[in-house]
A and B are shown apart, each in its own frame.
Chain A
Amino acid sequence: MTTPARIRNNTNNEEGGYLIDNVTFKAGVISGVIPVGPAGSARLASAVIRTSWKDGTRLSNTGGMGTIFDTTGLDAAVQTNVGAAFTQQVGSSATFTPSISPNAIARWNSTLGVIETVPTGVATSRSWPNCATIAASTIRL
């Protein structure tokens, strides 16, 4: 293919130049981190910060249903986790009636627009039991 030879003086059906002007860039949460500047953040709907939430259910929380039965046990399970290890994007669900549905991992509910956790002992999307569903959101000061 050859490029047709056209004059470029912008007069008769020719190919002139192209201009770019007035470009605006806005900060977002593309990296999965919520930026919090000196003025703080606005109220952030879960739809906006969805990518900042990462599921950590698989990381180091062994056991199954009923393994954790009090806040002491839950706090102990939390302490075994490392923040930077939360890299798995939360799952997704649209179920909300009669209630949000159980799952081993934390999920984004696309109908309600919320992050949800309803731990279950039998994972539907992963094949291992879990003692708790754990998720983390990351912010940058």
Chain B
Amino acid sequence: MIAASWTLIPEFSVDTPGTLTATLNLGSWPSGSLLYILWADDNSSSPRDNTSGAITEGGYTIDNVLFSFSAIAG
């Protein structure tokens, strides 16, 4: 993946904990080539202790990832 060619996955850009699922159309992706999944978390100025009543930004965690794909005939 070269600079300026990343594609946003809206389904992953949420702040609600839980299982996130997205279906991506990769077009023609050569077998054996690499695909990068990039995760970005901004450095907010909000507190991070997850305890105060104010707006807080805790952390984000990632676990249990599954990749599958289906080829479109034709």
Pairwise interchain contact B65-A68, C-beta atoms closer than 8 A: no
Residues of B within 8 A of A34 (CB): 67
Residues of B within 8 A of A120 (CB): 43, 48
Pairwise interchain contact A132-B1, C-beta atoms closer than 8 A: no
- Closest Cβ–Cβ distance, residue A64 to chain B (whole Å): 7
Pairwise interchain contact A117-B60, C-beta atoms closer than 8 A: yes
Among A1-9, A19-27, A79-87, the stretch in contact with B: A79-87
Nearest A-chain residue to B38, judged by Cβ: A136
Residues of A within 8 A of B8 (CB): 75
Pairwise interchain contact B63-A46, C-beta atoms closer than 8 A: yes
Residues of A within 8 A of B4 (CB): 79-80
Task: Give the number of residues in B that approach A within 8 Å (Cβ atoms).
Answer: 41
Residues of B within 8 A of A67 (CB): 43
Which residues in chain B, 35-52, are within 8 Å of chain A measured between CB atoms? Answer: 35-45, 48-51
Q: Which of B1, B51, B59, B62 has the most CB of A within 10 A?
A: B59
Pairwise interchain contact B63-A114, C-beta atoms closer than 8 A: yes
Overall SS of chain A's interface: loop
Nearest B-chain residue to A48, judged by Cβ: B65
The proximity string for A residues 6-47 relative to B, scoring 1 for CB distances below 8 Å and 0 otherwise, is 000000000000000000000000000110100111111110
Once the chains are docked, how many angstroms separate the CA of A138 from the CA of B67? 11
Pairwise interchain contact A36-B67, C-beta atoms closer than 8 A: yes
Pairwise interchain contact B58-A99, C-beta atoms closer than 8 A: yes
Q: Which residues of B contact A (CB under 8 A)?
A: 1-6, 8, 13, 29-45, 48-51, 58-69
Q: Which 8 A-B pairs have the closest CB atoms?
A: A40-B68, A83-B1, A118-B59, A83-B36, A119-B43, A114-B61, A66-B45, A117-B41
